[in-house]
Amino acid sequence: MARPPLPPFTAETAAQKARAAEDAWNSRDPERVSLAYTEDCVWRNRAEFIRGRAEIVAFLTRKWAKELDYRLIKEVWAHDGNRIAVRFAYEWHDDSGQWYRSYGNENWEFDDEGLMQLRFASINDLPIREADRRFHWPAGTRPADHPSLSDLGL
């Protein structure tokens, strides 16, 4: 099943693809997120290597059990043909109440149907005080009028 927008990406369609990914990840629904990837998708997430939708679901289930009150913003850095590079930041806390802002970059490659077939993510976690949080919207989709990463100086 096709997942528009389809490659080759323009600046507009790359931004649409990044926002759709952001919205899905902010749902914190591993099954929903997994449907944007090919059945045999390959990931590198930090130092973890993941292959296929079942492993994606298992990974995201573990991730969101640890990363509580998760809020994510993605922004396109570059695009070409069937590839998009994004930068992102997300905020979360662990079960002890320590807040973090995680910064990273992802490189994505899509098949002709618009499903992601490769995802390489590099991520760093910065402990922050709760008072330093910048992502305060209710759980779920980031509101359209919320500042972007660039607007926030991140």
In the chain, the domains with their CATH numbers are: 11-132 (3.10.450.50)
Using pLDDT thresholds of 50, 70 and 90, give the confidence band for residue 1. Answer: confident
Strands (E), 4-152: 37-45, 48-51, 68-80, 83-93, 99-110, 116-128
In sign, the C-alpha dihedral spanning 24, 26, 27, 31 is positive
Nearest to 85 by CA among 50, 118, 52, 62: 118
The per-residue pLDDT for range 27-41, each reduced to its tens digit, is: 999 999 999 999 999
Among 115, 136, 93, 153, smallest CA distance to 36 is for: 115
Mean pLDDT across 23-30: 98
Render pLDDT for 81-129 as a digit per residue (tens, 0 to 9). Answer: 999 999 999 999 999 999 999 999 999 999 999 999 999 999 999 999 9
Q: How many C-alpha atoms does 91 have within 13 Å on its Cβ side?
A: 19
- What are 149's two structure tokens? 């990463």
